[in-house]
Homo-oligomer: A and B are copies of this chain.
Amino acid sequence: MAAAFKNAGHRIMQVYSPNLHNASLLAYHVGADATNELTGINADTDLFIISVKDDVIEQVAQTLAKHQKPMVHTSGSTSIDVLIKYTDKAGVLYPLQTFSKTREVDFINVPLCIEAVNGSMYTDLEQLAATVSNHIYSINSAGRKILHLAAVFACNFPNYLYGVAQQLLADHQMDFNLLRPLILETAQKVQQQVPTSVQTGPAVRNDQTTMAVHLQLLHREPQMQEIYTLLSQGIIKNNIDGHGDK
């Protein structure tokens, strides 16, 4: 996000992290100063962006309160209330994307969810957000919690299942490259369509023979059997409820 703001012409004044090495890495990348001293932070800024672990957001906000500057956090599962306690210019900028240090994301397509304590703060954040993303949504703290939960189902759990598949292949000396095009196509399909309408596989066909063979293949891994059964039951249930197509 820091890189996206910088590329959009904003100036990142300073990057704080308790770990100075981490602060310096990002600071260098965006042409800012680095510090690991929260109490001595440079307050010559228009906005504090608090992007830290959920359970220390409030503590950081409390420390920064004395500067009386607008503050936002970037957390999906944290309410705006932890900031409202300390400033009358509180907001949230929640980018709904999975980030990793090894891969740069094209920020312009990242959905940015905004919440603000009042209309004037909302307008400011909306203008700021529009400089880096084409997909801005107004989502309050309750909605953001649901969204964060949904993101676990849509991102974290599928990635775990990719790993299960990769391990299955590795156990039998097969290459994960076999599955990579399938994984990509599965994600591309739902860019236009609704997931239940493009569900494939043995469960949606209620193909009991194949499912029994699969459970047998997993006989040494009871936890995998349990996952297989539970998710297959979910697919079968969706189909009975009439959401599915085939």
- Seen from chain A, the residues whose Cβ lies within 8 Å of a Cβ on chain B are 54-55, 77, 96-100, 102-103, 105, 109-111, 113, 135, 137, 139, 143, 145-166, 168-169, 171-172, 174-196, 198-204, 207, 209-210, 213-214, 217-218, 223, 226-228, 230-231, 233-235, 237-238, 243
Contact = CB atoms under 8 A, between A and B. Distances in A.
A196 B163 contact: yes
A110 to B, nearest CB: 6
A200 B100 contact: yes
Contact of A161 (B109, B157, B202, B210): B157
A169 B184 contact: no
Contacts of A145: 213, 217
Find the residue from A100, A162, A202 having the highest chain B CB count within 10 A: A162
Given A96-B181, A145-B213, A187 B189 contact: no
Contact of A152 (B96, B109, B169, B214): B214
Given A160-B231, A195-B166, A207 B146 contact: no
B159 A200 contact: yes
Nearest to A144: B174
Given A146-B174, A193-B102, A163 B231 contact: no
B187 A169 contact: no
Contacts of A192: 103
B159 A199 contact: yes
A216 to B, nearest CB: 10
B96 A179 contact: yes
